[in-house]
Structure 1
């Protein structure tokens, strides 16, 4: 471990001792409770399971099968979240094959800064993170779930989902991404049309044509903004199925990752082989790993706000001095637009998160001895990366 990374981590541990202790005590008290089927009143359970098909109702009430809650940011206006429309059916099918049940516990709002920038709607953007955190907590407050799958990609959505989930830190949770759209009009060519429009050389129709060629289909925008930085950080924290971040929507591999997320949340449940509640997975080392991954990839500066709030939700106290000290030693390993010419699809083709994690672990800039939703631990996220 690099001495600066070790020092920053230890400082965070010491600073957070009291708040983290209180947080973990609360988690342990929740974990110690009986399952919902034995703990809650019959009327409560009847309301919770009333809409389930008869076979699922039998599974969850009589067989006491695991019941997984989905919190989704699906809407069909935003390209990054439109693919989530099909996910509940896929996850429900996979759960049926595994003897489990699935319920969509709730939805969260999802807005796009790319749509609202320059308009009054942009004033809601940062506030939406806390609305999303609250909506996540509302969804999970029904308290009949053995784990949760969190479906979200973009700017404030992932931080909001994570903050909300950490308030139910006794639950195993897996984030389920949707992937980026294919590479469209290059950033260089798009910028050229914008310049021509500003000079009066082309009209609004030509400008809209260029913008629509850049942002053109379902999936995340392909530049390395907050949305795609979210995905990199979740991989570094061990909250994704490894390799899931930047697989395109609609592929066989994307469906395989989605199905694996369901199998994973069952595996890390109390009745699985390796119980891994999210509140214990997200510890001080996990937060430092996310910070290192952000710095190494030149990710969104919005995370200087978001990850302070995320850490605090787990009883962990970080501040910008921690980022600053880590930035003095963590190397910059990738230049993805707007920090370079490549987009996230090119980043993925060059090795993507797996390569970044492998290099950071090898250099002692990340903690390897951390929990992960993956059986192989965080180091498994670096496997398969090109040499």
Structure 2
């Protein structure tokens, strides 16, 4: 068990998705392994109890009135904040469920920002369902940035698993827009945040970064595009001049081989799928979405709501367990560094 002075806050996610069951499954798995850190779920005691009963998950629910109670209550079961609850509706998303997911996320953020919680682990939400109740963000990462009073570009998404960490420099945009969005400034800004995050939150004193090429064969001397030579290579040189151990542009088809992965601590990728395909292929059941560049710790399982299998006992809690475990390790690393 990771020793933390403050508990982690775990948000519910959409109650119609697999969030409730993977929270229960992850907590049960971590407790059995002796790896459960102090933590609490932000709302849903009746909902989670109903989910545990429906799926036969042996996870006692311990309602609490204050996050500090989680430090003691976690010995008896899964601490859950009372006062915020709703109905268990697996596979049937609704406005009520979306509002519950949003309220849990908002309170989880408040607990983390105020220092009551050591960090926040967010269960999956549906952007479409949230949009229907007034949500106006591309994703939870952008919401977190605004809640922290930081520009969106400071919230850097990193996907992390046991053998690979990747960072998409552009995220939810059309592929045709990517070449126009890639700039030396963007690469430098995000690479600095990633390097600092690896030092502060992962205890890597001298992070090694690999920067992916945009085009096949890194442009093949301009034959397949000019961006690699004109934009990416100069940015890598500038990073090296700052003392950051960076290499690139590395052709995408060579970047993720076992031998290549051993040479860097994180790969900076030019677009969404370049980063997420290898991570999900290699680490799907243990992939964690980590937000770097913000004053708080935030992790999330690297999967969605999976409405189609919710409530059927098919969801693997491995990624949620990994997200909780990683948030606890990051909080411990910050504590050692005095951050």
Under a length normalisation based on structure 2, what TM-score does the superposition of the two structures give? Answer: 0.30
- Higher RCO (CA-CA < 8 Å; seq separation 6+): 2
Q: Which has the higher helix share?
A: 1
Larger radius of gyration: 1
Q: Which has the higher strand share?
A: 2
